[in-house]
Amino acid sequence: AVSLGKMVILDPAPAKGNLPDSIWKGVEYIKPNETELEILVGRSLNGEEERREAAEQLRAKGVKNVMVSLGGDGLLLVNDEGCRFFPANKVNAVDTTAAGDCFTASFALALSKGEPVDAAIRFGQNASAIAVTRKGAQTSIPTLEEVLNYAPEL
């Protein structure tokens, strides 16, 4: 994909350790959750500072943007502009199955439509906030109309 000039968005699930450094070159966005980030860097992480340092490790290998999913707490974005936190929408979650996949797909869709990164992250968060209020995987994924009409509570 990189050789064809395509944007690479990687959701490393299930994560594997000891990957060759060459895999990271050209990855525009990676979205591990906390556990996946620990596996990717090969150590336990405690707190925001250690998660940020781990994200910087991936960036040093060639990843441009690291988005660490923190579940119901939100998302940490680490890139050239620094480290930013995006709080999660407050919802009554009933099933978190497919929440990460829903976020990543919705984030990619928003980027493909020309949205800036912040707006794409919020769009992904809105879609996954809807998804966790429903049971199932594919059946929990909202329609585009539902996401566009969603008014999040922060």
Would you state the structure tokens that stand for residue 70, as one six-digit string?
A: 């923190």
Angle (deg, nearest 10), helices 99-112 and 117-131? 150
How many other CB atoms are found less than 10 A from the CB of residue 151? 6
Distance CA 54, CA 79 (A): 12
Instruction: Based on the residue annotation, tell me whether 118 is a catalytic residue of this protein.
Output: no
Type and span of the H or E element at 66: strand 65-69
* Rg of the chain over all Cα atoms, to the nearest angstrom: 15
Q: How many residues are given for the chain?
A: 154
Looking at 11, 21, 101, 118, which residue is catalytic? 101
Q: Which residues are catalytic?
A: 101
